[in-house]
Structure 1
């Protein structure tokens, strides 16, 4: 389910970010988010002998960029058959709370998910998103207009 969830999120937000950044920068920022995720996990648990495998932290970094640049978009929140369109702030707010809860529960039970990698990747994505936001908006005027305070998007 973890892999399915990662692929779903990459499918939903990855194409918007790749269209915005171009293939090369998308891969570069994705990789940097993955490195940030790995660093966060290593710093959180330096004595761990469990190898890290996966792309969750890098995808979490994409969440951070998406949250900054597509804040008026709507994402589908799903639980089995229940679906609801929500803003990225609500969607990723729920996601980060789920990871914090998972981190707490993993400390109690031992876990097996690199929650710090998720959180570290998300923070790396927000940092990258903030650093390049002006350039991204300059290269994508429509995205800049959609993020301006004067524009209100009706749902």
Structure 2
């Protein structure tokens, strides 16, 4: 289950969100062109190593690791989440405050991962901690915003529209469950960076939520971003509408 879009276009162009996506793509393309030795050195210089951070070394990794990714699917998944959830938060916060929010969330998420495995030697890369902070802020400000998710169960594919609090709440719960059960020595996903970033983003968005009126803001907007929502055709199904003319129906496996 993963989100593919929301129904909440922003009121102004999200330049920072677009810039962050572009920077992540450019850095990934640069790393993609390195040979094995060069790539290892690149990660050694710019990834975050919890053990190094614990010893007060290579602190720049808390920042630079936010722009590194371990593969195309890692990059694509993170940028999809940022594109879906970043624009509304940037719209409400403003370009500069959102930039600071994003970077602070990413650094905080990295520190959460360090706390979870202070002697870890596996490099940590990815924007997911910072994006988790964006998701935490989104949950606080727009809990009932509509989000389309694609549900995949073996051969079953279906698009559903659900409130943001359901999708984000389930995502956060999965990070906690997996964080408790994962073996830090085997590498994989930095679940505590995700969970930590989410909590930090939620907390950092509290002042903005209070300035807007707190629960009164929820009552006024009904838990949605304060813009007309977008409507999508076929948002509840993956089956397109076709005519009744049988000649339009493809025939498979009927060779003569």
- TM range, normalised to the smaller chain? 0.7 to 0.9
Alignment coverage as a number of residue pairs: 145
Indicate whether 1:132 and 2:208 are aligned.
yes
User: Who is 1:112 aligned against?
Assistant: 188
Moved more, 80-89 or 45-54: 80-89
User: Who is 1:93 aligned against?
Assistant: 169
Query: Where in structure 2 are there 5+ consecutive unaligned residues?
Result: 1-72, 224-256
Contact 1:76 1:86 survives alignment (8 Å)? yes
Q: 1:55 aligns with which of 127, 146, 151?
A: 127
Q: Which structure has the larger Rg?
A: 2
CA distance in 2, matches of 1:104, 1:142: 35
The alignment's TM-score, normalised by the length of structure 1, stands at 0.83
Query: Where in structure 1 are there 5+ consecutive unaligned residues?
Result: 149-155
The alignment's TM-score, normalised by the length of structure 2, stands at 0.52
Alignment CA distance shift 1:111-1:50 (3 Å): closer
Contact 2:112 2:193 survives alignment (8 Å)? yes
> Please, what is the CA RMSD of the aligned residues?
2.3
Per the alignment, in what secondary structure is the counterpart of residue 42 of structure 1? helix
Per the alignment, in what secondary structure is the counterpart of residue 183 of structure 2? helix
Q: 1:146 aligns with which of 206, 221, 229?
A: 221
CA drift at 1:2:
2.8
Alignment CA distance shift 1:142-1:108 (3 Å): closer
More helix by share: 1
CA drift at 1:145:
2.1
Alignment CA distance shift 1:38-1:109 (3 Å): closer
CA drift at 1:39:
0.9
